[in-house]
Structure 1
Amino acid sequence: MSLQEAIAADSVNELYSLIEQDENILDHGSQGPFPNTPLHVAAEQGKTKVAMEIATLKPPLARKLNRGGYSPMHLASQKKHYRTVRALMTLDPELVRVRGRGGITPLHFVAGERGDNGWDNVELLELLAEFLSACKSSIEDLTNQCETAVHVAVRTGNSEAFKVLFGWLKRVHLTRILDWKDQNGDTVLHIAAAEKQPEIIKLLIGYTAVKAKNFRGKTALDIFQENPSGDQDLANRSCRLGRRAITPTLSLSQFFSKELTSFEKCANFFRIPDESARNIILIVSSLIAAATYQAALTPSGGYLQDSSSNSMANSTVVTANSSRMATGRTHGARDSIQRGSRLYGYTMLNSLAFFASIATIWATTFTVEANPLFHIPIPLLCLAYSISLTVQNPQDREVVRIYLAVLAVFCLIAVFCVPVLWRVAYTRVRRQIDATRGCVATFDDRKIQHTWQALLIFIILVTLAYF
């Protein structure tokens, strides 16, 4: 039996029998810049078992393009062998990003393809969703016409595929890709307006820059008015939105040529480019914050065990510590044994360490891409710390009240107000920029992930401190 017959029979046993006879059999015909490898043949025929064995034995073959400019996954997708496509994706999710003829990846192909019947269409939509889930970065791949998968879906009128892509972009917070432009300067909204797709336009309103211009100097509103879809409700909404929208006035080069704002200088001052160093700082700061928070709940020396109007009463705890207490002062149960300057010094140093660690966490994770809700728990935690100190030390409340109040207010301003103001300023500037990729800063998932990991570690440590 020949290799072609083994592939046609989808027989793994026959494949290995041939390999035993000739260990280089899979390399025959696989040489050269654009070979039609055995894996290409198996994928095109939908022979999943043999294709998986060949891809396992020879992983580089899965990325090779044949003379037609297609990879094995491209061929399997075109022939609607979806089982084979899924199987290859399990071996290497990055195969979704292999650029073939015209720069088209398997993701682009699936986004622009519609099935011959309802079942095929459902399969394609499921495959599209699986591609996105398996390889998130594939959404940023561009064809030779600088089109994303979203551009392809809208240009081909595949509204169902667009809904899958659009819903996924919202869930992973990557809607900025909707403002990316193709080689003509058209965003997804430009294309939807030109193709008279009111359903897609309604979905895009509120998520895209309606006054961004293409390379012909036209906005999506201009194109929509030139090619009305007949939807009066959409026309009214577009006009209202157009009056409120900010018209981009800066090119990306003009924006980069401007001086840094005070907010940008602040962010650059606190930004730590080294990922490993930032992680270490976050972990150490979280440990310090948890330790100092626990120390505030259990001050040095502990608490008195009873109440008395005389500091020299028959309390063994008071007697043992009578040299450290002012004679004649009253005390109550759960009052701190240390008082006066000692208590004030302990509280001051512990509070400085706590607020310094909180400030370090804030400065290390300060980023415009972070959700503003992240900054809310931090000032609340600072307030809880301040209140706990005044409750734990009622006899010296007046001594520490002003000091802690100033620190708490400072944390409220620094940790909550400043990031919110920065985000407002950043958003306003960004809306004035008309760029091909439509973004100024790169979305950094890892940084946000480490931010939430640090916060989670800190919350766990503080919770354990209570038990």
Structure 2
Amino acid sequence: MVRGLPGKEARESRLHQAIANDDVEDLHNLIEEEPQLLDRVSKHPFPHTPLHHAAAEGKTLVAVEIAILKPSFARKLNSKGDSPMHLALQSKHYQTVRALMTRDPKLIRVPGRCGITPLHYIATIEGVDEAELLAEFLCTCKSSIEDLTSKCETAVHVAVKNHNVKALKVLVGWLKRVNLTEILNWKDQDGNTVLHIAVSKKQPEIINMVIRHVKVYAKNVQDETAVRMFKENPCGDRNLARRFFRREHVEGLRAFLVSLFFHNEDDAAVCRPLSRFLSRKLTLFEWLTIWFGLRDESVRDIILLVCTLITTATYQAALTPPGGYWQDNSSNPPAHSTIVTANSSRIAVEESHEAGNIILSGSSLYLFTALNSLIFLSSVCAICITAIPQLPRTLGVYLLMLTLGLSFFATATIELPKSADAEAISMTVIYGSLLFVAWFIPLHSWLSYKIYHCGIDGTKRRVGDFPELKNGK
């Protein structure tokens, strides 16, 4: 054993030399001599592994090679609570950081001391290179934005507290592009959103950047809103004061809309506890979203495909009904001829007509139009219901369905003969009303849900859009 120690120490010394020289070949030679070398020098509960050493020194080739040989080393923390990527960031070895990130994007989410991830750390440093690396982090690992420090701070909180405007511009711009601006409303352990922090630190540039996306009436643990804090501690910016004034008006308009949708005073309040929201019965929108949103995507695809085919077929049938249209004018039937109105196909042959009029007539025409319209309306309703879980992104679908429905019923009623004006009006009113109901109910239920949901004020960090939380996040 004693004789073996100098050899082990020599190999450890050679390992440090290989890392210093960024020599991958020498690293593998040492591993061939002692396969347990990397594990042996990393036995400490919080080890400073060779990967930590290589990352701290910016030795990219060796760092990546060790990360390949021992992937677990990339997630280990040393006694100071730093992972290899944390050490590379602290030493500004950004090429090494990018190499490790390429090997495993999830390394961006490894929490170090106080729960600070590499994303949180880079958000504290102001600089062009740092802003670029922050943007790469966000685009490489989208879920990293959800990570919180031990104080429940997001990367946005960290950037605001460090007055890092460059980082905040990157963060806010990215959140807008991926439709995650709701994260700006998340709260830290003191119940502060980024707007609370910006107002308390008198940061007008940051306030202007986030005020549009943050609830100004959200309360922190001290029961203070950003509006109240701004009025008690103004920063002297008149333009910013006007923006707060406009936001107050927007909140007032929302409260007015809430009063139209909800008659209960508690429901109509500007800020409501989360517990009250969860204690309420499911809204129509939530029920429909859960029912249709959680089913298998392949089932939804089949429904949409079948409904689209049915809609196309019924619309085409309205344009080209059985028997087609008269190609000529005929006002006086031939002498001694009999008007045929009840042959096997129920199609009139010799009655007076004009070119372009539908040949099908009588009860057959009304039955065909009614059934075809009913099937068309049912397929449109199915498409609208299936699109509910994706609102508001599917608003365009509802507008297109309404336009298509109006066009269909206009075509169907125009085809009816002039002698059937009363039937045409009745059919237009009935099916037009049904179309409006099929279009309006989902949108009304979604709008009432969103108006109510916007007034929820969580005590701590976040209140998600519950119907969209499909993976337990």
TM-score (norm 1): 0.80
| 1:267-324: CA deviation from partner (whole Å, max 9, x where unpaired) | 36854422334444334333433444444444456x36842539999xxxxx9x9753
**Aligned match of 2:6:** none
Between 1:43-52 and 1:212-221, the stretch displaced more is 43-52
CA contact (8 A) 1:189 1:204 kept: yes
1:70-149 equivalences in 2 (<5 Å): 70-114=82-126, 121-149=127-155
- TM-superposed CA distance for 1:104, in Å, is 1.0
Q: Does 1:273 align with 2:279?
A: no
Between 1:4-13 and 1:213-222, the stretch displaced more is 4-13
| Residues 353, 102 of structure 1: alpha-carbon distance in 2 compared, 3 angstrom cutoff | same
**Aligned match of 1:52:** 64
Q: Does 1:407 align with 2:413?
A: no
| Residues 216, 384 of structure 1: alpha-carbon distance in 2 compared, 3 angstrom cutoff | same
Between 1:160-169 and 1:385-394, the stretch displaced more is 385-394
**Aligned match of 1:441:** 465
Q: Does 1:432 align with 2:455?
A: yes
- TM-superposed CA distance for 1:125, in Å, is 0.7
- Give distance in 2, aligned partners of 1:8 and 1:307: 95
- TM-superposed CA distance for 1:326, in Å, is 2.0
- Give distance in 1, aligned partners of 2:181 and 2:453: 14
| Residues 70, 419 of structure 1: alpha-carbon distance in 2 compared, 3 angstrom cutoff | same
Q: Does 1:163 align with 2:169?
A: yes
- Give distance in 2, aligned partners of 1:29 and 1:411: 73
- Alignment gaps of 5+ in structure 1: 115-120, 314-318, 448-467
Determine what percentage of the aligned residue pairs are the same residue: 46
**Aligned match of 2:212:** 206
- TM-superposed CA distance for 1:146, in Å, is 0.4
Q: Does 1:9 align with 2:33?
A: no
- Give distance in 1, aligned partners of 2:185 and 2:360: 62
CA contact (8 A) 2:57 2:88 kept: yes
Q: Does 1:235 align with 2:241?
A: yes
| Residues 147, 339 of structure 1: alpha-carbon distance in 2 compared, 3 angstrom cutoff | same
Between 1:245-254 and 1:202-211, the stretch displaced more is 245-254
**Aligned match of 1:187:** 193
Counterpart pick for 1:288 among 299, 304, 310: 310
**Aligned match of 1:382:** 405
| Residues 29, 264 of structure 1: alpha-carbon distance in 2 compared, 3 angstrom cutoff | same
| Residues 3, 363 of structure 1: alpha-carbon distance in 2 compared, 3 angstrom cutoff | same
CA contact (8 A) 2:326 2:358 kept: no
- Give distance in 1, aligned partners of 2:398 and 2:312: 17
Letter in 2 for 1:90: T
- TM-superposed CA distance for 1:249, in Å, is 3.6
Number of residue pairs matched by the alignment:
432
| Residues 384, 195 of structure 1: alpha-carbon distance in 2 compared, 3 angstrom cutoff | same
Q: Does 1:258 align with 2:280?
A: yes
CA contact (8 A) 1:390 1:400 kept: yes
- TM-superposed CA distance for 1:25, in Å, is 4.0
- Give distance in 2, aligned partners of 1:207 and 1:394: 56
- TM-superposed CA distance for 1:258, in Å, is 3.3
**Aligned match of 1:118:** none
- Give distance in 2, aligned partners of 1:300 and 1:20: 84
| Residues 403, 234 of structure 1: alpha-carbon distance in 2 compared, 3 angstrom cutoff | same
**Aligned match of 1:366:** 388
CA radius of gyration, larger in = 2
- Give distance in 2, aligned partners of 1:52 and 1:396: 84
| 1:15-63: CA deviation from partner (whole Å, max 9, x where unpaired) | 3444444444443334454333332222222222222233233333322
- Give distance in 2, aligned partners of 1:265 and 1:171: 26
- Give distance in 1, aligned partners of 2:181 and 2:56: 35
**Aligned match of 2:157:** 151
Q: Does 1:418 align with 2:441?
A: yes
- TM-superposed CA distance for 1:111, in Å, is 1.1
Q: Alignment partner of 2:380: what SS?
A: helix
- TM-superposed CA distance for 1:215, in Å, is 0.6
Between 1:129-138 and 1:277-286, the stretch displaced more is 277-286
- TM-superposed CA distance for 1:408, in Å, is 3.5
| 1:71-119: CA deviation from partner (whole Å, max 9, x where unpaired) | 22222222111122222222222222221111111111111122xxxxx
- Give distance in 2, aligned partners of 1:396 and 1:30: 93
Q: Alignment partner of 1:137: what SS?
A: helix
- Give distance in 1, aligned partners of 2:369 and 2:249: 56
- Give distance in 2, aligned partners of 1:219 and 1:237: 15
**Aligned match of 1:453:** none
**Aligned match of 2:261:** none
| Residues 437, 333 of structure 1: alpha-carbon distance in 2 compared, 3 angstrom cutoff | farther
Q: Alignment partner of 2:388: what SS?
A: coil
CA contact (8 A) 2:293 2:389 kept: no
- Give distance in 1, aligned partners of 2:420 and 2:25: 82
Q: Alignment partner of 1:245: what SS?
A: helix
1:211-360 equivalences in 2 (<5 Å): 211-239=217-245, 241-242=247-248, 245=251, 248-261=270-283, 263-264=284-285, 267=288, 270-276=291-297, 277-300=299-322, 303=324, 306-307=327-328, 309=330, 324=345, 325-330=347-352, 338-360=360-382
Between 1:146-155 and 1:103-112, the stretch displaced more is 103-112
- Give distance in 2, aligned partners of 1:445 and 1:293: 37
Letter in 1 for 2:200: A
